[in-house]
């Protein structure tokens, strides 16, 4: 079985996340995609509470499954106390799926930050890292010294949307419907998030 792992704070999930997941399912031929909601130790506390982020990630999973019905929501990182570390999640998944192929799916910015992650040098022992990178990024991670980066497979990807940008627009009461799946935009509106 080929299992992809796509983690993040999903604060909020946006069309870039959706596109990465759909493309990853297709390119990697995934049998299963775990969408893992994390508590990122490198970021300030989330703007939306954990329960809202988890519910919005569930809506993202529903959207992914319209195209590739293999995605499931994974809340283990949120359920544990303290910060989430990717290496710990991958270690658990490797024990759970010892004979399967694991793929860690990350965006370019996350890949650039990877040298600072907890035990990042261990990550390739558990999975193949697949980086969805801007076309000008190339194999060096957009200017980061290549000896700092762990081995990865690169996929050209360029959708200019970020959760930070979405939150900024929402705080200014500017339109974001073009940046979010419809169900997530509706959820944010109904719950008054990021205002």
Lowest mean pLDDT among 56-60, 117-121, 138-142: 138-142
**CA–CA distance, 23 with 26 (Å, rounded to integer):** 5
**CA–CA distance, 14 with 193 (Å, rounded to integer):** 14
C-alpha pair distances (Å), 106 with each of 6, 86, 90, 153? 7, 11, 13, 10
State yes or no: pLDDT of 124 exceeds 70: yes
Please list, in sequence order, all residues whose beta carbon lies within 8 angstroms of the beta carbon of residue 176, skipping any fewer than 6 positions away. 166, 169, 170, 185, 188
Predicted local confidence at residue 44, as pLDDT: 62
Side-chain-side CA neighbours of residue 39 (13 Å)? 15
Closest Cα to residue 194, out of 104, 174, 182?
A: 174
Whether omega before 12 lies within 30 degrees of 0, making that bond cis, reads: yes
Domain boundaries, the chain: 2-162
Please tell me the pTM assigned to this model.
0.90
Side-chain-side CA neighbours of residue 78 (13 Å)? 21
Per-residue pLDDT of 19-42, as tens digits, reads: 999 999 999 999 999 999 988 655
- Domain 2-162: CATH superfamily is HUPs (3.40.50.620)
C-alpha pair distances (Å), 130 with each of 53, 108, 179? 24, 10, 23
- Average pLDDT of every residue of the chain: 89
Which phi and psi (to 5°) does residue 7 adopt?
-110, 160
């Amino acid at each position: 079985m080929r299992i992809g792992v796509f983690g993040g704070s999903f604060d909020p999930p946006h069309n870039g996340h959706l596109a990465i997941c759909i493309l990853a399912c297709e390119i990697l031929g995934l049998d299963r995609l775990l969408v893992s909601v994390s508590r990122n130790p490198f970021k300030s506390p989330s703007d939306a509470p954990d329960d809202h982020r988890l519910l919005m990630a569930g809506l993202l999973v529903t959207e992914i499954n319209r195209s590739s019905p293999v995605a499931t929501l994974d809340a283990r990182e949120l359920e544990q106390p303290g910060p989430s570390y990717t290496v710990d999640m991958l270690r658990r998944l490797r024990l759970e799926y010892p004979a399967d192929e694991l793929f860690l799916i990350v965006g370019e910015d996350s890949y650039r930050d990877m040298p600072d992650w907890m035990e990042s040098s261990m990550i390739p022992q558990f999975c193949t890292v697949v980086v969805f990178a801007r076309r000008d990024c190339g194999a060096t991670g957009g200017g980061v010294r290549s000896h700092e980066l762990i081995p990865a497979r690169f996929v050209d990807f360029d959708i200019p949307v970020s959760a930070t940008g979405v939150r900024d627009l929402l705080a200014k009461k500017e339109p974001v419907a073009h940046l979010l799946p419809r169900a997530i935009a509706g959820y944010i509106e109904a719950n008054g998030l990021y205002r």
